[in-house]
Amino acid sequence: MKPAGAEVPISVGGQAVVEGVMMRAPGATSVAVRNPILTRPGLRGVAILIETMYDGMSALSFAAEQAMPEDERPSGSVTPVALALTLVLSMAFGFFLFAVVPHILTWAFGLAVGSEDLSGGKAMSFHLLDGLIKFGIFLGFVYLMSKMRDMRRVFEYHGAEHQAVHTVENHLPLTVESLSGFPTAHPRCGTAFMVTVIAVSIFVFAAIFPFIPEVSSIRIVNQAMFVAIKLPLVLPVAGLSYELIRFAGQKRGSLLGRILAAPGVWVQAITTQRPDASQQEIAIVAMEAALAPAALGATEAAPEQVRFFKNIDEFRAALSPSNTVGA
């Protein structure tokens, strides 16, 4: 399906959570879950990455809580401090897995084959192999997750979330029929972002590391320093990657846009699956709630609202003009 007209699309996005979908619109964030009991450029990418991770963890916490039987739910919600600590630990684990491990493996391989370039930590060939190892770890990680039954359902909700975003971007009504006409992949997906980060890191590291002097005659000390330098470089890499993702999304109809988006879209063959109608309804609820939070009682004084609906028809009734706050 082709975008309708030349109107500037609204910026919406989200992610799948446990039995549901989190949506982010310009003015609100919403989380819709199915309760089983009830059947500046360069910098903004870093800020949005952290904000999205924080919102995502909040959404995951909320969704997991709602998925529990009512008598087993914790008495209090997760505190911001706990979420922030989880965020820091998650980012530390991600840095170890996708920066420290590939660097060590590349360096060890260079020593094993007697290659000065691959054991030096500076050459283009080092960072190319390092990037390929990162990509392999990422693919293996998401593939193993896709084989877990519960994660497969999350990937189905991930597909529903993308279909809802496609529907809004094409100015079509949010219905199951509309969503079903779109693919489950989207160029502005977090999966595409990760693939772009890996690709961009190869070029950024290859451009910077040849100019970094060695500080010791002991090789392992130099490699430890190179790994440490990669930590602050995550910020410009994330910022540049975000701008490339945005550009690919804005130019998705052009050849360049399709080329930039292609690797991330291909990997989404693993991280998204075709959803069923009930999962699409959840994505619709999350999207409509994010686009019209006031209709569900959200105000500046009380921005967080938790509402329960038996089905999508009851939710739609709550969105009618007569039920809007202030009407």
264: number of Cβ within 10 Å? 25
301's CB contacts (< 8 A; 6+ apart) are none
DSSP string for 123-188: SHHHHHHHHHHHHHHHHHHHHHHHTSHHHHHHHHHHHHHHHHHHHHHTT----HHHHHTS-S--TT
First vs last Cα of the chain: how many Å apart?
37
Strand partners, 16: 21
The enclosing H or E element of 245 equals helix 219-250
- Rounded to 10°, the helix 80-95/44-67 angle is 120
CA distances 30 to 107, 206, 296, Å, are 45, 40, 11
> What is the 8-class DSSP label of residue 252?
T
Q: Angle CA(156)–CA(19)–CA(177) in degrees, nearest 5?
A: 50
Per-residue pLDDT of the chain (327 residues; tens, 9 = 90+): 334 444 445 566 666 655 567 676 665 667 665 655 444 565 555 655 565 555 555 555 555 555 556 555 555 555 667 767 777 788 888 889 899 999 999 999 999 999 999 999 999 999 999 999 999 999 998 899 888 888 888 899 999 999 999 999 999 999 999 999 999 999 888 888 889 999 999 999 999 999 999 988 899 999 999 999 999 998 889 889 888 888 887 888 888 888 988 999 999 999 999 999 999 999 999 899 888 888 888 777 777 777 888 889 988 888 865 444 333
65: number of Cβ within 10 Å? 15
> Helices (H) and strands (E) in the chain — how many of each?
12, 3
User: Is-contact 120 127, C-beta < 8 A?
Assistant: no
pTM for the whole structure: 0.74
Q: CA–CA separation, 123 vs 116, rounded Å?
A: 9
